[in-house]
Each structure stands twice: as C-alpha cells, then as structure tokens.
Amino acid sequence: MHSISTMIPEYFPDQGHLFYFWKGRVALYTILNAFHIGPGDEVILPGFTCVVVANAILYLGATPVYADIEPETYNLSVRTIEPLITSRTRVILAQNTFGLSADLDPILALANHHGLVVVEDCAHGLGGSYKNRPNGTVAHAAFFSTQWSKPISTGLGGIAYIQDEACAEQIEHLIRMIPPPTFPQQLMLSAQRILRPFADHPLLHYALIRCYRVLTQKFGFPVGSSTGQELTSIKKPPGYLKRMGRAQLRLWQRSLVPLAKIVKQRQQAAAIYDAYFDAIGLALPRRPAYADHAMLRYPIRVANKPEILTKAQHFHIPLGDWFVSPLHPVGSDLQPWRYQQGQCPIAERACREVVNLFTDSPLSRRQLDRLFSK
C-alpha cells in the first residue's frame, strides 16, 4: 500500500489508498474481488462501455446488468439505474464517459439506501472533477487507466484508488499473490512505447489500427490493450492478473506533475471544436455545471457515422469510433456478455451516431471541413 501524501498529494486525498496494476481492467477485477463479488451477485454498469469491463465482472462469476445512458452526457443516472436494482445487486459501476463524471451524489444516495457499493470507472476520467472533487475520489472506490491514449500514459497500466478501508485491506492481501509482468512483457511494452508516436502519424494511423486488430483478434497477440480472447470469450485469459511493472510506475510518478496542464490543453482543443461545430449547426457535448469535463475525447453526434469514418480513413485523418456497440469493440452477438439487443436503446443509438475527436492532437480546420462539411 502506498502513501498518497508522499506520492501525488495534488490529486488524491490523504484518506485513500493507491494500488498499481498491469491494466485498468485488472484493477477493476481486484476491486470487485476485494468486495467479495461472485456468483449470484449483480453489477450494474452502462450499456455503453468497453467489453473488458463486463469481462471483469464475468470472470468473478457475477452477472453484468446493463443500464441505459442519458443521451446528452452518455452516463448512467438514477433514472436508468433504479429500475434495475434487485435483491442480488451489489455494485453500481459509474463510468466517466469521454472524461465526464456521472452525477454521483444522487447515485450514492440511491446506493446508500440499498446498501450498495459505488465504483467510479475513471478509465476516461483522470484530471476531471465532480463538484470540485477529483474524479475517482467521490465513491467507495475507483479505477483508472494509464493506457496509450490517456492524459498520463504508462503504455499499459491501471490504478485502484480505495476509500473503503475493508476493501483496501483486502486488496493489500490480494496484491501480494499477484505477480509482476515478466521481463519479456516489460520489454515488449517498452518497444511499443518507443513505436507509439508512429501510430499518431496520419498516414500510418489506420493501417496500424487494422494490423493491431488482426493480431489481437485472430492470433491473440497482446500488442495493444487487449488480447484476442478478451474480445471473443468470457473466460479469463492466462496471465490476466499482473501488478504494474517498475518502469510503468516510474512513468506514472514522473507524469503526474503536468496533469493539470495536459487536461487544460485538451479542454482548449475542445473549445476550438465547440466553435467549429456550433458554426455548422451540430449539437455540442454537454458540460453539466456539476462537473469539470476532462475531455479525453470530444464526442459529436452525426447522422452519417459510417460515411464520416470512411472519409477519415480516405483522408488519413485520425478519428475515434467509440463505441461501435454497447460493448466496444465487439460488433455483434453480445449474448455471451449477457447483453440483449434493444436492452439499452439510447446507448445503441449513440453507437450508431457518435464519433469522437482527439483532443491531445486536435484536428485542423481543413481536416474538420473534409469530414463534416456538406
């Protein structure tokens, strides 16, 4: 267990505990395990998420229960959660979608009424805040991702921040049994980190994405954040549980200093996008008064998502397709993950309409015109 006060006092309050993992999904799995989630238990999560989040629940034998989202924030709310609570519900997983916190106070009040745990999914949320409290420090526990595209990147990586003392003590026990990454795994990650800047080059971006998806889905190579098995099966893959390696941890500690500056730059990029999309008549992403949006990505709804994604590839313009389905990136047959088509209609519509723009390297006016001008 690490002392917050000696490591990163500028973000995390002193009363919590930090633990470091190979990936964010491993942090989530360990949090749920520490809360003794298992067979017969239900975990409510948004039907607008990554499949690896549902996997962490299923690997423990629990059942994911998908709640629809609010159309303007892409997050859960009490309205979408409350009808799904049963005697078997144990956890509510509140996601910071694209960097925006859910409205947590009403969710926490609902959870307290039913004796439930709330875990913040801050894979998108590092650097944002809810009512002046940093994302991840409001609920009982939270997990973060430090994967490639995040404001602070360690290549791969996951952080658990725990305010529940019993959960923290249990994780302290569990983490002793979790091995660090092997030397070849750390070497591969270091090589990927060196090559990563090439993925942002417009001429290489889509070719590398296609290569990555072939390698992970067909051959199971862990060249990115997921292995093929995680995208095709609900069985926990070998070697899933790992702690964060030393090189990753050093990068995390060094990178925390400019976090506020990084988030500010992303918010400035979002302001440029605001002006552009307002001028052409598209609805801007909502920023509720209760939150400071971290703007990991800039989501925009369009009527012709497939056409715009095709244009992006043709003109070599980086553009995100999150989420292609309620369990991104799995495109069809979501039944193994207990999702039924039509279960979350607002989320399914968002999957058909929402693209997202990079905020770490904003698009130029010319690139925006090529994608969105009529």
Determine which one of 23, 150, 218, 311 is catalytic.
Answer: 150
**H or E, element range at 142:** strand 141-145
Q: Are 33 and 174 in contact (CB under 8 A)?
A: yes
The tokens for 166 are: 């019993």
In terms of Cβ atoms closer than 10 Å to its own Cβ (0-12, 13-18, 19+), residue 236 is: middle
Interaxial angle between packed helices 183-199 and 205-219, expressed in degrees from 0 to 180 and rounded to the nearest 10: 150
The tokens for 328 are: 């991104």
Residue 150 bears catalytic tag? yes
Q: Which spans in the chain are helix H? A: 4-7, 24-34, 51-59, 78-81, 104-114, 165-175, 183-199, 205-219, 228-232, 246-255, 259-280, 305-314, 345-353, 365-372
Other CB atoms within a 10 A radius of the CB of residue 256 amount to 17
Q: Are 48 and 350 in contact (CB under 8 A)?
A: yes
Which positions are annotated as active-site residues?
150
